[in-house]
Amino acid sequence: MRRSKGMWIRFRTMATEVSKRMPNTPRQIRIELSAIALAICWFVYGIGFGLYLRDVQGSFLFFIWSVPFFAIGWILVGIPIIAMGNRILKIPRILLGIAGAIAAPLIILAFFIFVALLVNHGTLDFSKWSWSSAKGGPLFGFASANGASALVIYHWLLSRKANRAILSQSL
């Protein structure tokens, strides 16, 4: 099925008009919104992890233990998204969710591989490792849900802030 050239030009014109209407949100506000989205996910998933373990100490463990992972995730994913400005609003939420769901487990794996390389002095033997050993525990499920929800919440917060800016300009 072939798209008509006129339809593509209308879509590009409409996207250009939307981007002209939408002023770029200041960097400080984007940083604050990303920190808010990260804090919401950190708190909610800390409580969820405690409920999964059926122990309050599990939540406290999560709150202390997960800070380096969230910091690395914010550096690797959050800073580039902040740098994108309002262009992130043109990306559909479902694609942002999928990107966050893929990025979060990769960040956790990268952290463990980095620590293993430090402990083993640069030599790792993956010949005895199999994918069946990764089935235990909900770590990747929690990480995927957390990464997806963090990006979607940031998109939602930024779109609300941008819409308020458009409304205040039109008044």
Q: Which amino acid is at 39?
A: A
Amino acid 11: pLDDT:
46
Residue 129 falls within a domain, yes or no?
A: no
CA-nearest of 77, 80, 64, 50 to 150 is 77
Q: How much of the chain, in percent, has pLDDT values that exceed 70?
A: 73
Residue 128 falls within a domain, yes or no?
A: no
> Higher model confidence: residue 4 or residue 92?
92
Domain that holds residue 73: 32-121+138-170
Residue 118 to residue 121: CA distance in whole angstroms: 5
Decide if pLDDT at 102 tops 70. yes
Q: How distant, in Å, are the alpha carbons of 131, 141, 143 from that of 136? A: 10, 11, 14
Residue 43 falls within a domain, yes or no?
A: yes
Decide if pLDDT at 73 tops 60. yes
Q: Place 137 in a pLDDT band, splitting at 50, 70 and 90.
A: low
Amino acid 104: pLDDT:
87
Residue 25 falls within a domain, yes or no?
A: no
Decide if pLDDT at 75 tops 70. yes
Residue listed under structure tokens 């043109």: 90
Model confidence, pTM:
0.73
Residue 121 structure tokens: 């002095």
Domain total for the chain?
A: 1
Q: Stretch 19-44: mean pLDDT, rounded?
A: 84
Ranges 1-10, 18-27, 104-113, most confident: 104-113
Decide if pLDDT at 125 tops 80. no
Choice among 22-26, 41-45, 160-164 with the minimum mean pLDDT: 22-26
Residue 146 to residue 118: CA distance in whole angstroms: 27
Residue 55 falls within a domain, yes or no?
A: yes
Residue 131 falls within a domain, yes or no?
A: no
Residue 9 falls within a domain, yes or no?
A: no
Residue 46 falls within a domain, yes or no?
A: yes
